[in-house]
Copies of this chain bind each other. A is one copy, B any other.
Amino acid sequence: MTRVLVTGGSGFVGRHTLPALVGMDVDVHACSRSLRPSANGVTWHRADVLDSASAASLVAQVQPDVLLHLAWFATPPDFWRSPLNLRWTAASLDLAQAFVRAGGRRIVGAGTCAEYLWRASPCVEDATPIRPASVYGGCKAAVWSALEPLARDAGVSAAWARLFFIYGPHEPPGRLVPSLVTAMRAGTAARCRTAAHVRDFLHVSDVGSALAALTMSDVTGAVNVASGQPVAVGTIAKGIARRLERADLLALDDGPAEDAFVVADVNRLRDEVRWSPRLTLDEGLDDAVTWWSEHAPPAEARLAK
């Protein structure tokens, strides 16, 4: 049975990826800074991936065949510019090296659409220029830039999942879907500032399923993990307002003309990983709005009510 070690398994994306891996008859190990009880087919280990000694000892102890590295600093909006991106860059490369040294067979990392030159969208993995506009995108691109030749030299299979726009349960509260749901449920104005922007949205349970499929495949190189379906941000906002019957609270601004269109080419994901989304956008929004209605955060909107 293939042993997979997942970093960031308790994060927004990670917690949806673990059950997808468990469902694939894989020996799933995950790590967290705090000790968690092993359950639901996942063996948890305590480790701090930012500490290279801790990461190396984790890898030596678990001896994974495959490493799925999702851990990163992801608190919005700070993650775009935080110097922590640089620490995660170094830590990710240390972890990759430790994994290679321990005889690992395949490594899959989490990249981002923010690596691409957005105005050249649709984003095609090896054709669209990599020209990150943010420290976050730059550091993610940096990891793959160093990781790809490192893995090639070591004879280790490597893939790089470029994630696009993700929504769903456990999303950080400050982002689009939770902030709109929270505001509307609190009866306060819900402003969408980039309604005309076209993006590629994928429900996080599908992101987890796609990552699990990519991880267990032998596809190498960069692979966009996305729906391939362009949708306007305003469409999402209106979909939420309709579900909550609060269209009266919704204010839409088009947003700046630059970077108005950021969508993924998903040919590699569909044809090589042989993965397609399980949920339609409507099904995904149904789920997200229901979940956020039941798990509304103690957000500014509520406090200001």
Contacts and interface: CB of A to CB of B under 8 A. Distances in A.
Interface of A: 81, 83, 85-86, 89-90, 93-94, 97, 126, 129-135, 137-139, 141-143, 145-150, 153
A247 B132 CA distance: 50
B90 A89 contact: yes
B97 A146 contact: no
B97 A93 contact: no
B81 A153 contact: yes
Nearest to A148: B138
Given A90-B90, A93-B89, A138 B145 contact: yes
A114 to B, nearest CB: 10
A224 B146 CA distance: 21
A85 B145 contact: no
Q: Lowest 7 A-B CB distances belong to which pairs?
A: A90-B90, A142-B142, A138-B149, A142-B146, A142-B145, A141-B145, A138-B146
Nearest to A115: B145
26 contacts: A81-B153, A83-B150, A86-B97, A86-B146, A89-B89, A89-B93, A90-B90, A90-B93, A93-B142, A126-B131, A129-B129, A130-B130, A132-B148, A133-B149, A134-B149, A134-B153, A135-B146, A135-B149, A135-B153, A138-B147, A138-B150, A139-B146, A141-B142, A141-B145, A141-B146, A142-B143
- The secondary-structure label for the interface of chain A is helix
Nearest to A137: B149
A111 to B, nearest CB: 11
Given A130-B130, A135-B153, A153-B81, A146 B89 contact: yes
A153 B142 CA distance: 17
A139 to B, nearest CB: 5
Given A132-B145, A138-B150, 4 more contacts: A83-B97, A86-B94, A135-B149, A142-B145
B133 A145 contact: no
B86 A142 contact: no
A250 to B, nearest CB: 32
A220 to B, nearest CB: 14
A238 to B, nearest CB: 33
